Amino acid sequence: MSLRLGDTAPDFEQDSSLGTIKFHQWAGDSWVVLFSHPADFTPVCTTELGLTAKLKPEFDKRNVKAIALSVDPAELHKTWIKDIEETQKTVVGFPIIADADKKVAALYDMIHPEQSATATVRSLFVIDPKKKIRLSITYPMSTGRNFDEVLRVLDALQLSDAYTVATPGNWRDGDDVIIPLSVQDPELIKQKYPKGYTAERAYLRLTPQPNK
């Protein structure tokens, strides 16, 4: 099953390091970062899970829950978590799905046979409170993810939802944003973007970030 942006994130019930997870119920009204790992006790994954644990305050500010996945069983996850906490100097407070039967991996198309017939690639999904997939990124097994980019995209998505804006390339929180082409009515522009805007071209209108 290949998931596309805007699709509803498949629901599932599966064991985890923190007990049984009913995904949609667990997610509640939060944003979710769901990310998979090839296996427990692997070096790149260990660093990624440590980074995610350390980002909890940033995720909390954005109403985001993190949840990881590996095809190993829950008891192995719990042992691995001890290693992660000791080597990465943090506390893993989020669940790791124990996808031993690969049910969730199949739902989210996380196994790529040309990479591995049994292990998940480094897939990452950002899912909004309506359970819609808003971002998907797939990394090769050898490459660790950039979690600063995940935070940047979360900021951009939440800003776009709240204020009807788009974000330019390399945008960071506080930079100018773009007025979408779907907004053309002059009165609506004055209402939505009271700080005004500059136009390099008729189709390229930059306005200060509305909530700054």
Query: Which of the residues are catalytic?
Result: 45
Instruction: Note the pLDDT of residue 126.
Output: 98
**Mean pLDDT lowest for which of 35-39, 69-73, 179-183?**
35-39
Instruction: Note the pLDDT of residue 119.
Output: 57
> What ranges do the domains of the chain cover?
13-143, 164-207
Instruction: Note the pLDDT of residue 209.
Output: 97
d(CA 162, CA 154): 12
Residue 135 phi/psi, 5° resolution? -155, 140
**Mean pLDDT, to the nearest integer, of 107-118?**
68
Task: Tell me which fold the domain 13-143 belongs to.
Answer: Glutaredoxin (3.40.30)
Residue 126: C-alpha distances to residues 25, 113, 155, 165, 186 (Å): 16, 24, 12, 19, 34
Is the pLDDT at 161 greater than 90? The verdict is: yes
Instruction: Note the pLDDT of residue 120.
Output: 56
pLDDT band at 150, cuts 50/70/90? Answer: very high
Average pLDDT, the chain: 93
d(CA 56, CA 204): 36
